[in-house]
């Protein structure tokens, strides 16, 4: 009898291990299908909450923000109330959704305005100090914490407990190459199933895979970013400008709005460079780039077009507002170099600007660039340090 029981226990253990390795393999393959961070986070949390995955009621993911030295909530999947949980589980049962089905629902999740838990998690920001509770200790200690007893709950920040509406839970660190990137928090707040040692072990193994996936995604996104910026000014480069302009023009067709393009050229730059040297010239371009960036809106695309030329793509902006914006830029740059005592006034750095607008001036991208350039050429020819707006007369003059 004892032998039979031992054999059964061994068989159960082997089946459990096979299931764990099979699940990890399946999830790892799913994670490898994308390098986009949001999608990776979604796959991670879906695997933790899916009934075909680890089956926790809720899963929340937090990442370290090294610049601000805080732990930030980035995504949460699961219901926020028992009523919501009942509806979700009923739908899952009726739909017979697999893990693959859940993962394929990413776009729906992203658009879902009713994901209350996700909104709550995204609003959390915790300073990385030892007195800030279990989530932060998970990062600082680099180890899991099991909050499964009343005694252990004393270590939990009551504000976080109230915000997340949680009771007993487990946290595990997300690691990559001995570096802690963040933490995962899971709970069974609704069905009250106990989180076992076996669950924690599986969760920890899973978190190690997840941490590497997150780090790879970050490295990929950093590479993509670096390939899209101008190294000297840290603005977007020519390729990114072309990409963003195409995107904004396509979007404006759908929304029936205007897109204005401002082309900027630095006046007297060659003389400035030749007289004061390339280091001073490069610094001047960086200062001008800083003005363009600081005066632009978040929705605008500011890029270096080439040499001493810059461009600003302004969605949902008519020609007059773009002209006023260009004039503000021109005035700021004029003030910036007004007291350049080493050069005569006629050779100080200023900028000239040309403005064209879609669809008022053209509906073609290349033509929009050409017409903004015509307006810029007009400004340069009219004495520099001024803004000109494209008009049909400019095109007639150029073709004459």
- Tell me the pLDDT tens digit for each residue of 177-226: 878 999 999 988 888 888 888 888 888 888 888 888 888 888 888 888 88
Closest to 371 measured CA to CA, from 386, 385, 381, 360: 360
273-to-110, 120, 160 alpha-carbon distances in Å: 49, 53, 57
| pLDDT tens-digit readout, 353-363 | 999 999 999 99
C-alpha 239/C-alpha 303 separation (Å) is: 9
The pLDDT mean for the chain works out to 83
95 or 327, which is more confident? Answer: 327
User: Both 165 and 285 in a single domain?
Assistant: no
Question: 61-65: which pairs have CB atoms within 8 A and are 24 or more residues apart?
Answer: 61/121, 61/174, 61/182, 61/183, 61/184, 61/185, 62/121, 62/124, 62/126, 62/135, 62/182, 62/183, 62/184, 62/185, 63/174, 63/181, 63/182, 63/214, 64/128, 64/139, 64/180, 64/181, 64/182, 65/125
pLDDT(369) > 80: yes
Residue reference for tokens 């300073």? 127
Q: What is the pTM of this model?
A: 0.63
**Percent of the chain residues topping a pLDDT of 70:** 79
pLDDT of residue 156: 82
pLDDT(368) > 60: yes
Domain for residue 242, yes or no? yes
Question: Band of the pLDDT at 348, cuts 50, 70, 90?
Answer: confident
User: Both 215 and 244 in a single domain?
Assistant: no
| pLDDT tens-digit readout, 232-286 | 999 999 999 999 999 999 999 999 999 999 999 999 999 898 888 889 999 999 9
pLDDT(46) > 90: no
Question: 325-333: which pairs have CB atoms within 8 A and are 24 or more residues apart?
Answer: 325/262, 325/295, 325/296, 326/262, 326/264, 326/353, 326/355, 326/387, 327/353, 327/387, 328/295, 329/262, 329/264, 329/291, 329/292, 329/295, 329/353, 330/385, 330/386, 330/387, 332/291, 332/295, 333/288, 333/291
Let me know if 107 is exposed, middle or buried by CB neighbors in 10 A (0-12, 13-18, 19+).
Answer: exposed
Closest to 247 measured CA to CA, from 311, 262, 255, 112: 255
> Among 189, 221, 253, which residue terminates a domain?
221
Active site residues: 308
DSSP state of 148: -
> Phi, psi (5° rounding) for residue 144?
-75, 155
Domain for residue 226, yes or no? no
User: Both 184 and 42 in a single domain?
Assistant: yes
User: Both 87 and 144 in a single domain?
Assistant: yes
Mean predicted confidence (pLDDT) in 60-83: 84
Domain for residue 244, yes or no? yes
Secondary element (H or E) of residue 314: strand 309-315
pLDDT of residue 192: 86
pLDDT of residue 30: 60
pLDDT(389) > 90: yes
User: Both 248 and 291 in a single domain?
Assistant: yes
pLDDT of residue 362: 94
> Among 169, 190, 221, which residue terminates a domain?
221
CATH number for the domain that contains residue 44: 3.30.450.40
Closest to 206 measured CA to CA, from 49, 80, 97: 49
Radius of gyration in angstroms for the set of CA atoms belonging to the chain, rounded to a whole number: 29
User: Both 211 and 74 in a single domain?
Assistant: yes
pLDDT of residue 92: 47
**C-alpha of 228 from chain center:** 15
pLDDT(99) > 80: no
CB 40 within 8 A of CB 28: no
User: Both 141 and 255 in a single domain?
Assistant: no
User: Both 57 and 167 in a single domain?
Assistant: yes
DSSP state of 79: -
pLDDT of residue 25: 58
Lowest-pLDDT range, 103-112, 169-178, 335-344?
Answer: 103-112
Domain for residue 301, yes or no? yes
Domain for residue 148, yes or no? yes
pLDDT of residue 106: 46
Domain for residue 275, yes or no? yes
User: Both 286 and 390 in a single domain?
Assistant: yes
Domain for residue 230, yes or no? no
User: How many Cβ atoms from other residues are within 10 Å of residue 116's Cβ?
Assistant: 15
Q: How many structural domains compose the chain?
A: 2
> Phi, psi (5° rounding) for residue 169?
-160, 175
CATH number for the domain that contains residue 250: 3.30.70.270
User: Both 163 and 82 in a single domain?
Assistant: yes
Token pair, residue 26, equals 């399946």
Mean predicted confidence (pLDDT) in 7-17: 60
Domain for residue 190, yes or no? yes
CB 327 within 8 A of CB 267: no
User: Both 263 and 199 in a single domain?
Assistant: no
Length of the chain: 400
pLDDT(102) > 80: no
pLDDT(310) > 90: yes
> Among 157, 187, 221, which residue terminates a domain?
221
User: Both 213 and 245 in a single domain?
Assistant: no
C-alpha 94/C-alpha 147 separation (Å) is: 33
CB 310 within 8 A of CB 303: yes
| pLDDT tens-digit readout, 21-41 | 565 556 566 666 666 777 778
| Residue-number span of the structural domain to which 302 is assigned | 238-399
Mean predicted confidence (pLDDT) in 370-378: 95
31 or 390, which is more confident? Answer: 390
């Amino acid at each position: 009898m004892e032998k039979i029981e031992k054999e059964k226990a061994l068989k159960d253990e082997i089946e459990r291990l096979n299931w764990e390795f099979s699940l990890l393999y399946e999830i790892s393959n799913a994670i490898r299908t994308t390098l986009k961070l949001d999608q990776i986070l979604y796959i991670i949390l879906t695997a933790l909450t899916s009934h075909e995955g680890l089956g926790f009621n809720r899963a929340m993911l937090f990442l370290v923000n090294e610049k601000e030295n805080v732990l930030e909530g980035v995504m949460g999947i699961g219901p926020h109330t028992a009523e919501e949980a009942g509806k979700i589980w009923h739908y899952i049962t009726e739909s017979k959704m697999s893990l693959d089905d859940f993962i394929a629902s990413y776009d729906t999740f992203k658009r879902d305005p009713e994901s209350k838990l996700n909104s709550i998690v995204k609003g959390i920001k915790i300073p990385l100090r030892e007195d800030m509770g279990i989530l932060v200790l998970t990062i600082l200690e680099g180890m899991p914490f099991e909050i499964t007893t009343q005694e252990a709950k004393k270590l939990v920040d009551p504000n976080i407990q109230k915000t997340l509406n949680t009771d007993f839970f487990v946290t595990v660190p997300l690691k990559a190459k001995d570096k802690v990137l963040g933490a995962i928090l899971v709970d069974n707040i609704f069905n009250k199933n106990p989180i076992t040692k076996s669950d924690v072990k599986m969760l920890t193994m899973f978190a190690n895979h997840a941490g590497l996936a997150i780090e790879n995604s970050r490295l990929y996104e950093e590479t993509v970013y670096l390939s899209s910026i101008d190294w000297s000014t840290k603005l977007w480069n020519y390729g990114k400008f072309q990409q963003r302009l195409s995107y904004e023009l396509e979007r404006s067709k759908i929304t029936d709005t205007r897109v204005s393009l401002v082309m900027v050229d630095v006046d007297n730059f060659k003389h400035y460079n030749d007289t004061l040297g390339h280091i001073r010239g490069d610094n001047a371009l960086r200062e001008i780039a800083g003005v363009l960036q600081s005066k632009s809106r978040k929705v605008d695309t500011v890029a270096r077009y080439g040499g001493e030329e810059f461009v600003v793509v302004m969605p949902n902006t008519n020609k007059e507002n773009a002209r006023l914006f260009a004039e503000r830029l021109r005035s700021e740059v004029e003030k910036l170099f007004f007291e350049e005592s080493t050069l005569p006034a006629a050779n100080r750095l200023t900028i000239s600007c040309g403005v064209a607008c879609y669809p008022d001036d053209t509906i073609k991208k290349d033509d929009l660039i050409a017409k903004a350039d015509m307006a810029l050429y007009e400004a340069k020819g009219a004495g520099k340090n001024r803004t000109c707006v494209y008009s049909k007369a400019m095109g007639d003059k150029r073709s004459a």
